[in-house]
Amino acid sequence: NEGIHLSARNGLLAGTVSGLAIGVCIAVVLFFIFEDHRHLLEVVLWMTAMFSLTAFLWFGGFDVLRHYTLRCVLTAVEGFPLRIATFLDHAARLDLLHRIGGGYIFPNRLLMDHFAAGEFDVEVEAN
């Protein structure tokens, strides 16, 4: 998640800085072009919001949006845990996985082959 958090931070920073800069420029230009200033603030705020949103999406927001959309879809369709880091840490505490740096590996080749083959069918006896 570090990369996604970095993308979100970059997008928010770019959106804020570009939105404020463009908003100030638009306000100054429109103030001198139009004599009627009744709706000036509303127009400037809307245009600033649109530029900020565009900059956010361009500089990392699309990646964040795709990441969390994929996580939600996997959770809804496949029953995948929404908080995968917690799940992987729990599996590491149970010795099903070993944590190596920022990643995880299977300690047992047979366990890895079992999951890779997609053999998830487990029969449960009803008592």
H helix or E strand, kind and range, residue 53? helix 40-56
What is the chain's pLDDT, residue by residue, as a tens digit (127 residues)? 788 999 999 999 999 999 999 989 988 888 888 777 788 888 889 999 999 999 999 999 999 999 999 888 888 887 778 888 888 888 889 888 888 887 888 888 887 887 778 766 555 455 4
The whole-angstrom distance between residue 73's C-alpha and the CA centroid of its chain comes to 13
Q: What is the token pair recorded at 72?
A: 């939600």
Tell which residue, 11, 17, 2, 14, has the closest CA to residue 65.
Answer: 11
Residue 124: per-residue pLDDT:
47
- The reported pTM is 0.65
